[in-house]
Structures are given as C-alpha cells and as structure tokens.
Amino acid sequence: MLFGKKPKALDPVDLAQLPQHIAIIMDGNGRWARRRHLPRSGGHAAGAETFRNIATYTKEIGLHYLTVYAFSTENWKRPKDEVDAIMRLLRDYLDEALRDMEKNQIHMAFWGDLSPLDPELRALCERVEFTSRKYDKCNVHICLNYGGRDELLHAARGFAADCAAGKREPGELTEALFGSYLYTAGVPDPDLIIRPSGEQRLSNFLLWQAAYAEFYFTDVCWPDFKKEHLLQAIHAYQLRQRRFGGT
Ligand code: IPE
Ligand code: IPE
Ligand code: MG
C-alpha cells in the first residue's frame, strides 16, 4: 500500500477520472511545529500555506469540489492564544482571497456554525462567500467551527421547525430531504477523504456524507503535504473498486 510512503512523482493519475469531491482533514500542524522547536502557531501558519498551494493546484487539475476541515467544534478546547492565531491566519487568508478573487476564480463557502466567531471575521466569511458565488467550476468549502454531530442536530432542528410551522410533514422525511437541511446541501458527497499526520479517524468530520467515501491516510503532516501527495492519494483512489453495497 501507499500509506505514509514518500510520493513517487511518476505514479500515473488519470486526470480525466478525477474524483468529483475530495475532502481533507488538515491535521498535524502542531506536531510539525514541535519537531522544529517552533510554537504551534508556526505550524498553523505553515499549514495555511499548504492550503493555499493545494487549493490552487486542485483548481489547476480541474477538481470540482474541495472541502477542508479547518477548525472543529472541539478545537475551542485549545489554549486561547492558539485559537486566536488560527483565527488570525484565517482572516489574513480571507483578505487575500477577496483581493485575488478575480485571478483565482474559486467559489468559497463555509460550513459550520459561524455564530461564535468574532463578528468581523464572520462578516468577512460572508463577504467572501457572497462575492465568489459566481465562480462555479472550482468550489472550496472551509469547515469552520464544524462538527458532524452539530451539523446533524442543526439539520434536525431545521426540519422540526419547518414541521412546526406547517411547511413539512414528519412522514415526508427522506435521505434526500434531510440532506437539504445539511450545510452540504446541493454538494455531492466526498468521494475521497484524506487525512495526513498518521491519525486514522474522522474526528467528527462529515459523518453523514462519509457513508461511502474512500479513505486515504498518510504519515506526512499537513504542512509537508505537497501536490505529489495529493496525486498519490488520487492514484490510490483510482485503484479502488467502489461498490456502494452492490456486487
Ligand atoms: C490541525 O493540526 C489544525 C487544527 C486542528 C486546527 P493540529 O493542530 O491538530 O496538529 P496536531 O494534531 O496537534 O499535530
Ligand atoms: C481534526 O483534527 C480537526 C481539524 C483538522 C480541523 P484534531 O487534531 O482536532 O483531531 P483529534 O483531536 O486528533 O481527533
Ligand atoms: Mg490534530
């Protein structure tokens, strides 16, 4: 298997058969920093740079949907200075995304409960999402204060409220209708979920949507993740046989 191996640049990837949707759990920033005797915030800064490169590269190869896990509902447990550093990096990235929007032509959306964020940062997220909505070839979703369980509760509450308001009937709930209450409404489920850093768990990421996703794990920490690693993951994906419960 290819797990954790140094990428071989020449592994053939069929760019005509890309997965439609790749999701990445951007993990390992802290360990990357610790190994270099840097503060954890240095790891997050390096991770933000990786994200810039990978988002640009996915657009270049023609991927339609890229989703990244940037901050979970559980990540508030971290020291305040670390959380502040992550939010600052996000703000810098969004300022830059606004500035370079015409050049990049990437639609960006945010999945998660943005209400606890600093109002300025929240407004910036909304502005980026709104102004980039016209670019539909490459869609990047940033999961921010996102939790799969929280998303399911949010959807259940939304449906219950619609029932209480007489807009829906409990008996009409189907998987498709429930999906329309999720943050991911209208976006196909991820085909491939990549987690760097050696951890092999979902950590509350896309619990509903991951039902038939393929997984790819690598020991490389996110700041060291290069386009070759992405190609390696896509290559591994292209060797899989997906059955979706069939034969
Ligand atoms: C991922 O890297 C970034 C966030 C969760 C915000 P970590 O900060 O979790 O890095 P490790 O897992 O401690 O190495
Ligand atoms: C998952 O990573 C969340 C993000 C990458 C944003 P964590 O580092 O928070 O997950 P655990 O704690 O190792 O499960
Ligand atoms: Mg981690």
DSSP codes joined into one string, 83-144: HHHHHHHHHHHHHHHHHTHHHH--EEEEES--TTS-HHHHHHHHHHHHHTTT--SSEEEEEE
**Distance of CA 14 from the midpoint of ligand 1 (Å):** 31
**Distance of CA 27 from the midpoint of ligand 1 (Å):** 5
Q: Point out the ligand 2 atom lying closest to the alpha carbon of residue 25.
A: 5
| pLDDT value, residue 12 | 83
Which positions ≥6 away from 201 have C-beta within 8 Å?
195
> Residue 119 burial by CB count (10 A; 0-12/13-18/19+): exposed, middle or buried?
exposed
- Is there a contact between 181 and 208 (Cβ–Cβ < 8 Å)? no
Kindly name the residue from 11, 29, 53, 75 that is annotated as catalytic: 75
Angle between helices 40-61 and 80-99 (to 10 degrees): 30
Count of H-run helices and E-run strands, the chain: 8, 6
Residue to mutate (ligand 1; options 24, 26, 31; most atoms within 8 A of CB): 31
CA nearest ligand 1 atom 8, residue: 30
pLDDT in tens, 65-86: 999 999 999 999 999 999 999 9
pLDDT in tens, 76-126: 999 999 999 999 999 999 999 999 999 999 999 999 999 999 999 999 999
| pLDDT value, residue 1 | 41
Check pocket membership of 86 for ligand 1, CB cut-off 6 A.
yes
pLDDT in tens, 206-225: 999 999 999 999 999 999 99
E strand residue ranges, the chain: 21-25, 65-72, 107-111, 139-146, 192-195, 214-217
Q: Please report which ligand is nearest the Cα atom of 77.
A: 2
Distance CA 129, CA 107 (A): 7
**Distance of CA 26 from the midpoint of ligand 1 (Å):** 7
CA nearest ligand 2 atom 9, residue: 75
- Is there a contact between 146 and 75 (Cβ–Cβ < 8 Å)? no
**Distance of CA 199 from the midpoint of ligand 3 (Å):** 8
Residue 75 annotated as catalytic: yes
Residue to mutate (ligand 1; options 24, 25, 26, 27; most atoms within 8 A of CB): 27
Local confidence band at 34 (pLDDT 50, 70, 90 cut-offs): very high
Look up residue 13 and give its two tokens: 């990837």
Mean pLDDT, to the nearest integer, of 173-185?
98
**Distance of CA 117 from the midpoint of ligand 1 (Å):** 19
Distance CA 47, CA 71 (A): 12
Residue 104 annotated as catalytic: no
Distance CA 106, CA 121 (A): 19
Residue to mutate (ligand 2; options 25, 50, 217, 222; most atoms within 8 A of CB): 25
Q: Of the ranges 11-15, 51-55, 110-114, 131-135, which one carries the lowest mean pLDDT score?
A: 11-15
